[in-house]
Amino acid sequence: MHGSSPAPLRSHHANGLKGILRVPGDKSISHRSLMFGAVAVGETRASGLLEGEDVVNTAKAMQALGAKVERTADGIWHIQGVGVSGLMSPKGDLDFGNSGTGVRLALGLMASTPLIARCIGDASLSRRPMGRVTVPLCEIGARFETAEGGRLPLTLHGAKDAVPITYKLPVASAQVKSAVLLAGLNTPGRTTVIEPVATRDHTERMLKAFGADIASETRDDGRHIAITGQRELKAQTIDVPGDPSSAAFAMVAALITEGSDISIENVMLNETRTGLITTLIEMGGDIAIEKRRLAGGEEVGDLRIRSSRLKGIKVPAKRAPSMIDEYPVLAVAASFAEGITHMEGLDELRVKESDRLAAVEAGLAANGVTTGSGPDWLAVEGGGVSGGGLVETHLDHRIAMAFLVMGLASLKAVRVDDGAMIATSFPNFISLMNGMGCRIEPER
């Protein structure tokens, strides 16, 4: 990724998307399968793992820290763990590419073990703040040497004598919560995180499945999650469900493209991840959830989506944590809806792979859509899209995919300046979308 040249793409008007498809495995579950397997006792086996660059970089990092990680020809990943205290200083840099989840969770995993590791990433990741994670990890006993502004490259000195803390999240962030809980794995006593606003709970669910002593309760000041450290985890067999953040692109494509009727199988339906489905249904989207079932502690199901006339709504701030990665493609859906869609609680989008809020607004404007925004809100005036614009992606995979979806229903083709980074989260995005009737192609 670091040296890859830009790959401009364009997306043309399409009609009647059809098909039954599966999206890549959930990225959150894929990262955690590798990390928890690396510090468990025994061999963890994971099938359906997302094999994008972000997750592959996490696999390489776990291997560099001492775990044995191998993918066999049948697509199953085998992770031989080293126990919660068994991670070792890597010989070289740990390169996390474009993945904020990968580096922030790994920092937590390493923080309570006396090792030294230097973490690097691509240009986009190197602009993202790490202070929100390093501050609580310093309280546990880790030390950090960072680039200016608390950014990557970053050298971690893990704690020799980690101490348990109680940490109240200043912002709603599953990554920060997870980093602190993972540091608690090798910390004596109870490490507690208090989250005033509930965030994705994959870490808690999965740690429990691996045998961690972890419990949560809701109190007046929010949700308290406590983990008792220095208890060994037991290796697991994991079937990774489809990523709802990846399913989002096919969902919106079908809703805005006339005559469409598609099904997406085996999608994770964890309630902390289904904000977009709720929102699109409120906007008038014809989305049916079928065959709900449990798999690996997570609820999964199949989605059937048919083209619909959408209407603008107000999306409440409290829903933001359950759909924070989906706002770019929601903004695209909103541009085809009747009326204005007002989205609140979006301050977190300012510090994603890019300033996602600014990038979304600029992309909409380039294609003839009227918007308004503030530090933490975005309003999109719907009614259709003229298209014809060039979207600057700022090395952000979700911006690229969202605007390629826009071109499927705009009057003129929509172009994005680079699609190379799509491989970080959705390696077969173009082939899967074109397979159901989309028209996405390289810019000539």
**24 preceded by a cis bond (ω within 30 of 0):** no
Please write the tens of the pLDDT for every residue from 397-439.
999 999 999 999 999 999 999 999 998 889 899 999 999 999 9
Task: Return the closest-CA partner of residue 329 out of 270, 262, 408.
Answer: 408
pLDDT at 354 over 80: no
- Residue 298: CB atoms within 10 A of its CB come to 21
Residue 331's φ and ψ, nearest 5 degrees, are: -60, -35
Of the chain, the percentage scoring pLDDT greater than 90 comes to 87
Topology adopted by domain 27-238: UDP-n-acetylglucosamine1-carboxyvinyl-transferase; Chain (3.65.10)
Can you give the pLDDT at residue 52?
A: 87
Asked if the model's pLDDT at residue 391 lies above 80, the reply is yes
Encoded tokens for 57: 């970089």
Residues linked to residue 238 through DSSP beta bridges, in sequence order = 46
The string of DSSP letters for 34-63 reads HHHHHTEESEEEEES---SHHHHHHHHHHH
The DSSP bridge partners found for residue 261 are: 18, 306
DSSP 8-state symbol, 367: T
Q: Tell me the per-residue pLDDT of 215-242, one tens digit each, with 9 for 90 and over.
A: 999 999 999 999 999 999 999 999 899 9
Q: What are phi and psi of 408, to 5 degrees?
A: -70, -20
pLDDT at position 61: 98
Question: Between the CA of residue 362 and those of 8, 319, 371, 390, 440, what are the distances in Å?
Answer: 17, 24, 9, 10, 21
Where are the domains positioned within the chain?
A: 9-25+241-442, 27-238
pLDDT at position 364 over 70: yes
Say what the pLDDT of residue 97 is: 95
Over residues 91-137, the pLDDT tens digits come to 999 999 999 999 999 999 999 999 999 999 999 899 998 999 999 99
Strands (E), 211-319: 213-219, 222-228, 233-234, 237-239, 261-268, 286-295, 298-306, 314-315
**Does position 2 have pLDDT exceeding 50, yes or no?**
no
Residue partners of 73: CB distance under 8 A and separation at least 6: none
Strand order in the sheet with 314-315: 314-315, 340-344, 377-381, 371-374
Cα gap 135→165, rounded to integer Å: 12
d(CA 275, CA 280): 9
The share of the chain scoring above pLDDT 70, in percent, equals 98
* Side chain identity, residue 135: V
On the question of a cis peptide bond just before residue 170, with omega within 30 degrees of 0, the verdict is no
Tokens of 392: 């600057």
Please report how many Cα atoms fall inside a 13 Å half-sphere around the Cα of residue 213, on the Cβ side.
14
HSE-CB of 181 using CA atoms within 13 angstroms: 30
Looking up tokens 């060039």, which residue turns up? 390
Residues 166-192 have a mean pLDDT of 96
Each residue's pLDDT tens digit, 283-328: 999 999 999 988 766 899 999 999 999 999 999 999 998 898 999 9
Does the structure show a pLDDT above 90 at 140?
A: yes
pLDDT tens by residue, 248-270: 999 999 999 999 999 999 999 99
- Decide if 263 contacts 270 (C-beta within 8 A): no
Of 371, 382, 376, the residue nearest 344 (C-alpha):
376
Q: Which sign, positive or negative, has the C-alpha torsion 368, 393, 390, 403?
A: negative
CATH number of the structural domain 9-25+241-442: 3.65.10.10
Position 399: which residue type? I
For 209, residues 6+ apart whose C-beta sits below 8 A from its C-beta are 236, 296, 297
Catalytic residue among 54, 122, 302, 325: 325
**Token reading at 208:** 């429990």
Report yes or no: 69 and 31 within 8 Å, Cβ to Cβ: no
The total of other beta-carbon atoms located within 10 Å of residue 314's CB is 11
Amino acid at 129: P
What is the pLDDT, as a whole number, of residue 1?
43
State residue 266's pLDDT score. Answer: 93
The pLDDT mean for the chain works out to: 94
Task: Choose among 236, 213, 237: nearest CA to 225.
Answer: 213
Sequence-distant (≥ 6) Cβ neighbours of residue 124 within 8 angstroms: 98, 353, 354, 394, 395, 396, 421
Is 261 a catalytic site residue? no
